[in-house]
Amino acid sequence: MWGRKPRCVIRTKMASCSFEDVLAKAERDEAEKLKGITVSKELDLEFDPGNLLAFDKNRIDTREFKDCKREDFLRSLARDNTQLLINEMWKLPTERVEEVIVAKLPDPTTLLPREKPAPKPKPPTKWEQFAKLKGIQKKKKTNLVWDEVHKEWRRRWGYKRAKDDTKEWLIEVPENADPNEDQFNKRNKAKKERVARNEYNRLKNIARAQKIKVPGMGLAPTPRQSKAELAQAVNVAKISTASVGKFQDNLPKEKTPKNTGRKRKFQPLIGDFSSEKQKQLDLLKVMDSKKPRLDVTKAVNKQMREEDMESRHKNKKDFGKKGRRGKMSGKGKGKAGGKGKGPKGKGRKPQMKQGKR
């Protein structure tokens, strides 16, 4: 028993020594490993991995900066800071994307100003308001439509569309329509009017969205209207009722304008007998004659207008071929003569037949 005890004691002591040694050795090994990447700093850096940004608040020793070579000092400082930043980056969760190890970045913490202000929600258009009110949903339409005539799938609108009514060579005249009316022209005009109305409504929607005041009907689109224009617009609005303004009350200080209406001048009842006689004889002569009378001003204006139209169409045709030719001025005035009102409707040139469509 005496012999054994010391042996036991020694053995346990040795075991404890080696255990501590092992631990110490492990610690030293770890320290060795991390030696390469540890950097000691007074203050910890502030990191923003989302932006790959690091900020070092530590004081820089200006003496050291001036003593040793500048570039080396800066490079070593940069190396230390970059090492710390890289350590931080390696702590982020990684994943493997197409045989490449990629670190997932968190959201950036430094707030940077925006480029443009945030988009504002747009106010709904007139149609959108109505649709919301009625509960109308937008229906997604198919891109292609089956065209029976050509027996193929064609697009819903645009070039070579399914039901293209501009390509029709025959239009049936409806029962209640004038047989002399040009149906093709009518269709074109209706289309132009639809386009114009669509554009007008689009602009009104924009004006409403941007809260721009637009003058109402009857006024020029300029922001400043003259007194006369406004007065005229007021008068027009007043008589735009079913009873032509007869039952419209006046505003407190408004006076009903007198002397409105077309000015007519009448000859006195008992005046110049000879001129009255001449007038009556002329009237009878016109009624008797077989040939209708020619209103020269009107005829000339009409002719000028037609020639202008022709030259314009011809120009449009030659556009692609010969390029711009500069403005081809018509016969001087063009429409400047206007629809001259000659002596009151005594005779008219017979209505010219509608030209080729």
Torsion of CA 68, 70, 74, 77, to 10 degrees: 10
Return the H-helix or E-strand segment holding 96: strand 94-97
Ramachandran quadrant class, 211 (left: phi over 0; alpha: psi -120 to 50; beta: rest): left
Residue nearer to another protein on the CB measure, 74 or 231: 74
Q: Is 36 in the site for another protein (CB under 8 A)?
A: yes
Measured over the CA atoms of residue 278, residue 280, residue 286 and residue 288, the dihedral's sign is negative
Residue nearer to another protein on the CB measure, 101 or 242: 101
* Number of neighbouring beta carbons within 10 Å of residue 142: 9
Radius of gyration of the chain measured on its C-alpha atoms: 47
Interface residue with another protein among 12, 16, 18, 82 (CB under 8 A) is 82
Number of residues that bind another protein (CB under 8 A): 60
> Least distance from C-beta 62 to another protein, angstroms?
7
Site map (CB under 8 A) of another protein, residues 102-121, x = contact: xxxx--x-xxxxxxxxxx--
> Least distance from C-beta 155 to another protein, angstroms?
14
Q: Is 146 in the site for another protein (CB under 8 A)?
A: no
Interface residue with another protein among 68, 209, 230, 244 (CB under 8 A) is 209
Q: Is 94 in the site for another protein (CB under 8 A)?
A: yes
| Residue 5 near residue 21 (C-beta atoms within 8 A) | no
Q: Is 211 in the site for another protein (CB under 8 A)?
A: no
Give the type of residue at 209: A
Angle at 299 between CA 294 and CA 303, to 5 degrees: 150
Q: Is 225 in the site for another protein (CB under 8 A)?
A: no
> Least distance from C-beta 189 to another protein, angstroms?
23
Return the SS3 of 170: coil
Interface residue with another protein among 33, 126, 160, 194 (CB under 8 A) is 33
Q: Is 221 in the site for another protein (CB under 8 A)?
A: no
Give the type of residue at 228: A
Angle at 80 between CA 78 and CA 82, to 5 degrees: 65
> Least distance from C-beta 60 to another protein, angstroms?
6
Q: Is 83 in the site for another protein (CB under 8 A)?
A: yes
CA gap 347, 293 in Å, rounded: 5
Q: Is 40 in the site for another protein (CB under 8 A)?
A: no
Q: Is 195 in the site for another protein (CB under 8 A)?
A: no
- The tokens describing 80, both together, are 């230390």
| Residue 257 near residue 313 (C-beta atoms within 8 A) | no
- The tokens describing 127, both together, are 């149609």
* Number of neighbouring beta carbons within 10 Å of residue 49: 19
Interface residue with another protein among 25, 28, 57, 132 (CB under 8 A) is 57
Interface residue with another protein among 65, 127, 130, 200 (CB under 8 A) is 65
> Least distance from C-beta 41 to another protein, angstroms?
11
Q: Which of residues 11-30 bind another protein (CB under 8 A)?
A: none
Which residues contribute to the site for another protein (CB under 8 A)? 32-37, 50-60, 62, 65, 71, 74-75, 77-79, 81-83, 85-87, 89-90, 94-95, 97, 100-105, 108, 110-119, 122, 125, 203, 205-206, 209-210
